[in-house]
Structure 1
């Protein structure tokens, strides 16, 4: 930890992952000698120049005998306890933060007002859980039990403690802010992390060649792409795969590239232990010579996938919006997306993207056919998609505003949104 700047403002970031949503903020602050930056995290990997990492570790996980309604709360308390112990060490070394900014829900911020009562506590509020009206009851084929209803209500416990304790909070989109109890809306500002539009930009005529994984699609004229952290129903993976089977039947020259890990990042896993990828490959008749699973890709290869895309499919339940959708828009992809609330905050059908029913593989296919058959006519939609991100969600514009908010300076951000 740097000690040369005793008069510097001290910032403590808290997030189980590193650097996650705080990457740009921590990087910018660490470059300025007026700030001393510490990042409390559970993740050993990764560094940011000038940022001191303080690794915390819960003493255990929730006990098997703990009632399943409160296991999430017990894990959050154990995390908060682990962070408290690290905070004691920082305090003993002379680091007493002026500002603490942590991700709410996992528990790292729970006890910060106890050890640092004079610090301003800021929380990143990504999601508030509801049994009705958002993600949990979205799929009619998955009805909720009484246990589900009660468990989901209790799951908000650590978030509610943070809502009460924090001085200020932030959500990345209006839709996500709207999920929180109205009585706390006055505490929550809307500001997206921001998209690096200088990096995610179009490359007209690009072809996809990734030598590292022996993927050469330089001969392909029709390329449909899909990106996700995992492959799961929350991001419409089963419907996407059903659409792929139909696309392959109708378009013999079309190739499909899927970026992401064969796992569930959000939602439930299958009871039999199979992955959703395994399930769909067994269920559907697919030409695997035209279906390419890349796994996770480094940023420069992921960018090449987006730049070469003829049509990019993004599906989501009413849930947290993926960075990948906005990065695809910034890259000028022709977006075919589900007409669900988080998407509707960004996309106007036929203007800057094409919208489909989440549950209709046939609608997805129809839009893909429309897109591929009228590629020149779609250029205006691609251009408008990028303009949407450049105008409203550009990192160069939002980062200074985000920093002003973090530091308590006057900012152009408004609690009811921005840019539109």
Structure 2
């Protein structure tokens, strides 16, 4: 079988699936703007293409996002035509359609089966658009209109999608019901053999010191430190947390940019905004126990999880972070926000502790309670790892589900593009 992978940051979510398909003897090709030259990786032939065109200055802001997706879609379309001219005709196309690249691929190969990575459908429900009133958009009454336009990319893909795959039920259920019958829930998978407890783990901190499992380490992770992942709630609770736990070392991983939601005021970062907000509430001796690591290599991230005594995870109703499941796999004792995506993976007093997203005082109380109870931490961590191994393990659960999904996709009658 010939398989084409489309991802703007390949391998992305195909990190394990694409090599596994190649190992089964399938011819796997990837088109991506991430690389500049053709290359080979894990049995996959990777071909570059350039995104041509620029966004129109002064265009209506609701259309700017869609115009970018059309530019990416037409650029990928041209690369697909060149690939077709070489004689390549895929039986299956696997695409993360979130950036628009796969918009026109059925026009090149109408007989190919298109399988989409269905990450999120933008919902206008108040639990999504109005979850955090502090960061409410101007003119919230226009949210349904704005998001209807934002979903144009989703809607056009729905017409040609033969099947979809989504990592969690929460994410799959954001899509309209007509989609859901074609979406399989199968997570990307956690390598639980690698992400595991390590009593000998050590984490070097920016000040030159080192922490181990013998230290009281509280951890917090975002891809980028921002409100969508509760950074503001954590930082506002930090003065009391440091006061209550005079021996605790607080370690944060995350960049200074924006992954989701609104951008901060010009020239600022969310990270610094909330540092500044609590700056005077924490004495210098307290700040010495707060360590911002920025973005780190995976091995350092793993060491952080392995030395963590209590891990805090907060999120809006949104895409579930891999880091929560990785923390569970590392046997962390976890305090997490009582929000829908979290409840799918974490059960109160079984695999972790749930707390109101906005209640920083309650979060501090629950963190402190766990820090005072080693036996409870150990039991929660053991249960969390067992749950992840049973439901999210890469090799025994998730990858087999993904491979089965591809086989079922290949057997479908392809949907033709519409005019």
The two structures share one fold, judged by TM-score above 0.5: yes
CA contact (8 A) 1:225 1:258 kept: yes
What TM-score does the superposition give when structure 1 sets the normalisation length? 0.91
Q: 1:74-113, aligned counterparts within 5 Å?
A: 74-113=67-106
- Higher share in helix: 2
Which residue, out of 159, 162, 166, partners 1:167? Answer: 162
Q: Which residue of 2 aligns with 1:248?
A: 242
Counterpart-to-counterpart distance in 2, 1:118 and 1:214: 59
**1:404·1:410 contact (CA, 8 Å) conserved in 2?**
no
In the TM superposition, what are the counterparts of 1:402-417 in structure 2 within 5 Å? Answer: 402-408=402-408
Corresponding residue for residue 120 of structure 1: 113
Aligned to 1:131: 124
Q: Distance in 1 between matches of 2:410 and 2:249?
A: 50
Cα distance per residue 1:163-209 (max 9 Å; x no partner): 121111111111111111112211111111111111111123x4533
Bigger mean CA deviation after superposition, 325-334 or 371-380: 371-380
Instruction: Point out where structure 1 has 5 or more consecutive residues left out of the alignment.
Output: 1-8, 412-420
Q: 1:195 aligns with which of 185, 190, 206?
A: 190
Aligned to 2:31: 40
Q: CA RMSD in A?
A: 2.0
Distance in 1, matches of 2:293 and 2:219, equals 11
Q: 4+ residue stretches of structure 1 with deviation over 4 A?
A: none
Q: How much has 1:232 moved relative to structure 2?
A: 0.5
The structure showing larger relative contact order (alpha-carbon pairs under 8 Å, at least 6 residues apart) is 2
Name the SS for the 1:95 alignment partner. coil
Cα deviation for residue 219 of structure 1 reads 8.9
Matches within 5 A, 1:48-67: 48-67=41-60
Q: When the two structures are aligned, how many residues end up with a matched partner?
A: 401
Q: Kindly provide the CA deviation profile for residues 272-312 of structure 1, in whole angstroms up to 9, marking residues without a partner as x.
A: 42111111121113322101111111111111100100000
In structure 2, which of residues 246, 251, 255 is the aligned counterpart of residue 257 of structure 1? 251
**Alpha-carbon separation, structure 1, partners of 2:267 and 2:127:** 26
Name the residue aligned to 1:10. 2
Aligned to 1:363: 362
The alignment partner of 1:97 has SS state of coil
Alignment of 1:12-31 (within 5 A): 12-31=4-23
Shift of 1:57: 2.3
**Which structure 2 residues correspond to residues 320-335 of structure 1 after superposition, within 5 A?**
320-335=319-334
Of residues 58-67 and 41-50 in structure 1, the stretch that sits farther from structure 2 once superposed is 41-50
| 1:112-139, Cα deviation, whole Å (9 max, x unpaired) | 1100111111111100001224432111
**TM-superposed deviation, 1:215:** 4.6
Say if 2:317 and 2:341, in contact at 8 Å, map to a contact too.
yes
Aligned to 1:418: none
Match of 2:348 in 1: 349
Maintained 8 Å contact 1:69/1:150: no
Contact 1:37-1:52 within 8 A present in 2 as well: yes
Which residue among 222, 230, 248 is the counterpart of 2:216?
222
Q: CA deviation at 1:213?
A: 8.2
Is 2:206–2:293's contact at 8 Å kept on the other side of the alignment?
Answer: no
TM-score by length of 2: 0.91
